[in-house]
Structure 1
Amino acid sequence: MNLKPKVDNIFDLLKNNKKIIENYFFMTILQVLNSFFYLLIYPYLIQVLGVESYGLYVFATSITTYFIFLINFGFDFPATKAIAENIENRNKIQETLSCVFTAKVYLLLLSIVIISFLLFFVPFLKQHFILFIFSFIQVISFIIFPQWFFQGIQNMKIITYIQLIIKIISLPFIFYLIKAPSDINWYVLIVSLSSLFGGIIAFFIIRFKYNYHLNFVKKSSLEKWFRDSFPFFLSTSAGVIKEQSIAIIIGAFFGMKDVAIYDLASKIVIIPRTIFMSINGAVFPKLVVDIKKSRIKKIINIEILMSLGVVLFITIFGKLIVEIFAGYQMNSAYPLAILLSFTVMSWLVVGAYISFVFVPSNKYYLVTKNQIIALISFLIYLAIGFFFYKNIYVFGAAMALSGLTEILYCKSVTKKYQLL
């Protein structure tokens, strides 16, 4: 049996998709680095800050995430697409960078008004004024750190190097300054300044390495960007409300310890989820300009199998992971992690439908409808769950069932409009 032709085909496949493989590798490293870094220092933080203070940090981060998504406004997909389709057109790339930058500055000003109102009129936020201000600082990095630009030009290794350097630099500050629960404000400030510093580095790389200027543009030039991004903003907002509201609801009705427990369960799931989710992001820039339906179907089927593997892995090893990172005091995170592991399938499969089916077909409204359905179904499942049980496991079950509902919706509308 002559294996040489098959070996040659494999090498040709790797050679022809070198950029995709490289992009996937660095996107995966980036996501794993971000997730594993905070999981790595998790035992130390839980020990010195305590469960309550750490839960407060998660609570503040959840609120900040709302503003991050408001500022991003769903620009990432249209912007990445614009960069990938005009990779040789410097004027178009310059225009894309400047328009998105200007739009985000306007949204930052709106966010400052909103957070100021909340900090002065919501008693709990006012009580922890400094902590929430420090947490809010990190939203600035999402204006000057256009990850979508590097994704569009398929050069994610720069982002990975920046994040790695920043994480390493922040470690000594964390271990030196964070010694007690009262140091929670210092920890939040370190996290935010690390993010901001990374954004500044990326800003200078775009300006001096790639020689692009980020200029303010007229409001009239932003209309198209807001219009095209609005469906993604709606869909992202629905997802943010669904995910981030959990920490806020748990904090308000159960306590900060339960916030920390849910956060640990989420962290366990996030690492395998982000490893596989990078596939869609890495393939998107190339596949969006060369759509092949058979390839899309194959990607979706492979992602279903991978996600089932994640569920099996967390079921077998999840309890051990919880005990290693947090000890027996947070064993409740194990059943939650199993429930949340089922959301990996929805993240992967729905992400594939959005990236490779809805966006290339310009069916942006289907993205919005999908996330609205996901949010509504989550709230319905949550209400039903709380009718019978009043514990934090209901959140995990509602998330899993909501994800399944998303997949069924994507399959049905794809079949209805014959998109695949």
Structure 2
Amino acid sequence: MKYPAISDKLFYKQLRSVIHDGLKSSIVHNAVSLYLMQFANYLVPLIMVPYLVRVLGPTGFGAVSFAQGFINYLMLFVEYGFDLSATRKISVQRENLESVNRIALHVWAAKGLLSVVGFAVLIALMSLVPTLGEVRWLLLALYGLVLGNALFPTWLFQGMERMVTISVINLGLKLSILAGVFLLVKQPEDAVLYAGLLGGGSLLAGLTGAVVAFWMLGLRIGRVSASGVWEALKDGWLLFLSKASVSLYTAGNAFILGMLTNHAVVGYYSAAEKIVRSLLGLLSPISQAAYPRFSKLAAESKEKALIWGRRMLLLMGSAGFAISLGILVGVNIIVSVLLGSEFGPSVTVMRILAFLPFLIALSNVLGIQLMIPFGKDRTFTLILFGAGVLNVCLAVLLTPKWHEKGMAVAVLLSEIFVTLTMFLYLIGIRLSLISVKKRYLNTKI
């Protein structure tokens, strides 16, 4: 089949259309709120990185990053698939407060159960694995990140499309952590103190967010049943597997690298990755704000969902390309200014990872905005699992010889695999964005 080409005129017309339509929708208001949260979650750490790498040094910064890499696995375990499954469920039921209340209570209960299991696993592994035992105090201090994430109801406010207040709270608490780091962390020996600030701040943010959720949404404490918890776990199972697969080539790279090399190498890689992923975080609010709308569109009209998907692909792809190009052009200046002369090896790492924003922008639209809303959770999971296995295999092969550069190459190849596979799959099941008929392109969403 021959698909219609996209002319420059049509490209800019669609780009203007998505911006114009978006400004009149609730998506843009939620996106603005999510940008506040994203600033807290990504840009605040980015501001801290130049200070921390100089105070802690490559080895100290690498040790913290290694511990965070393992904690990221536990955070993923406790987050499960609720950020997608619960958001999707609440977005459909948001007019029924009783249903929202029941869903929220059971998701919190499930997260509480997983938090207890996660802590037990942490204690056991610190005793059994010497490499983890060496950073036990960092791990214990950072476990507050897991507990805070379990409490913080981002999924609830996303589903309700009410993000402003909770975003401001999150931003305020993260800025307090930033101030604490600058005031208290002064030498390499303060690594545990830094970890404690991160963990404690996250726990406080989670508690505050939960209280605000009850107050703003009129939630009530009620009976939680084992069947309800099981239902919540069952709903998020496939999405959890997909996120676990993603973590094999995102959240846990520092941990994998630390198991195969040393803390200094972890420091070189992690510093570059944090900067790239912080810049990549500029795209996340658009994606997160659009996801509930895509869930509704997919249930109402395949054609409308594909129209909006094509527009999103143009917008996200353009933004991702701009970020990638900016990193490639300015990599030497970025490393010199933000990291300093001790982190020379991070330049090559950042050059390799610079392609991630463009690739992830595309795969996010294809996967999160199309595959999941259309119920293709299982295939989505299989694709990400394949990418995760590919990343681990490549890491084991490449990092012993090429260290931080080998890990960066493994991550890049895994992201290429994800984007290409999703694109081909959607074409195969007739959900291709390329084949959207021209007569629908001016349809208002």
Task: State whether TM-score is above 0.5.
Answer: yes
- Aligned residue for 1:45? 52
Give structure 1 regions of 4+ aligned residues with deviation exceeding 3 angstroms: 9-18, 379-387
How is 1:192-207 mapped onto 2 (pairs within 5 angstroms)? Answer: 192-207=199-214
Q: Specify the code of the residue in structure 2 equivalent to 1:324.
A: V
Of the candidates 308, 316, 319, which is equivalent to residue 332 of structure 2? Answer: 319
- Label 1:171 to 1:280 Cα distance change in 2 as closer, same or farther (>3 A): closer
- Aligned residue for 1:419? 431
- Label 1:310 to 1:13 Cα distance change in 2 as closer, same or farther (>3 A): closer
The yes-or-no answer on 1:24 pairing with 2:45 is: no
The yes-or-no answer on 1:187 pairing with 2:194 is: yes
- Aligned residue for 1:262? 269
Compute the displacement of 1:214 (Å): 4.7
- Label 1:281 to 1:135 Cα distance change in 2 as closer, same or farther (>3 A): same
1:102 and 1:215 in contact (8 A); partners too: no
Q: For residues 308 and 372 of structure 2, what CA distance do their matches in structure 1 show?
A: 16
Of the candidates 294, 312, 332, which is equivalent to residue 299 of structure 1? Answer: 312
- Aligned residue for 2:135? 128
Deviations 1:247-304 (A, max 9, x none): 1232233321221111121122123311113222111112321242122123223323
Stretches of structure 2 that go unaligned for 5 or more consecutive residues are: 1-12, 299-304, 433-445
Q: For residues 256 and 118 of structure 2, what CA distance do their matches in structure 1 show?
A: 22
The yes-or-no answer on 1:355 pairing with 2:368 is: yes
Corresponding residue SS for 1:375: helix
1:101 and 1:144 in contact (8 A); partners too: yes
Q: Specify the code of the residue in structure 2 equivalent to 1:413.
A: Y
Q: Specify the code of the residue in structure 2 equivalent to 1:406.
A: V
Q: Specify the code of the residue in structure 2 equivalent to 1:63.
A: F
Q: For residues 265 and 284 of structure 1, what CA distance do their matches in structure 2 show?
A: 29
Compute the displacement of 1:64 (Å): 0.7
- Equivalent pairs, count: 412
- Aligned residue for 2:67? 60
- Label 1:198 to 1:378 Cα distance change in 2 as closer, same or farther (>3 A): same
- Aligned residue for 1:285? 292
Q: For residues 146 and 223 of structure 2, what CA distance do their matches in structure 1 show?
A: 19
2:105 and 2:224 in contact (8 A); partners too: yes
Compute the displacement of 1:161 (Å): 0.8
- Aligned residue for 1:93? 100
Compute the displacement of 1:383 (Å): 5.2
Of the candidates 310, 335, 338, which is equivalent to residue 351 of structure 2? Answer: 338
Which one is further off, 169-178 or 327-336?
169-178
1:67 and 1:111 in contact (8 A); partners too: yes
1:277 and 1:347 in contact (8 A); partners too: no
- Aligned residue for 2:417? 405
1:178 and 1:186 in contact (8 A); partners too: yes
- Aligned residue for 2:301? none
Determine what percentage of the aligned residue pairs are the same residue. Answer: 22
Q: For residues 17 and 407 of structure 2, what CA distance do their matches in structure 1 show?
A: 44
Which one is further off, 250-259 or 79-88?
250-259
- Aligned residue for 2:144? 137
Corresponding residue SS for 1:361: coil
- Label 1:290 to 1:370 Cα distance change in 2 as closer, same or farther (>3 A): same
Q: For residues 110 and 386 of structure 1, what CA distance do their matches in structure 2 show?
A: 31
Q: Specify the code of the residue in structure 2 equivalent to 1:342.
A: F
Stretches of structure 1 that go unaligned for 5 or more consecutive residues are: 1-5
Compute the displacement of 1:386 (Å): 5.5
Q: For residues 67 and 206 of structure 1, what CA distance do their matches in structure 2 show?
A: 24
Q: TM-score, normalised by structure 1?
A: 0.91
Of the candidates 251, 256, 271, which is equivalent to residue 258 of structure 2? Answer: 251
Compute the displacement of 1:351 (Å): 1.6
Corresponding residue SS for 2:249: helix
Corresponding residue SS for 1:391: helix
Compute the displacement of 1:127 (Å): 3.3
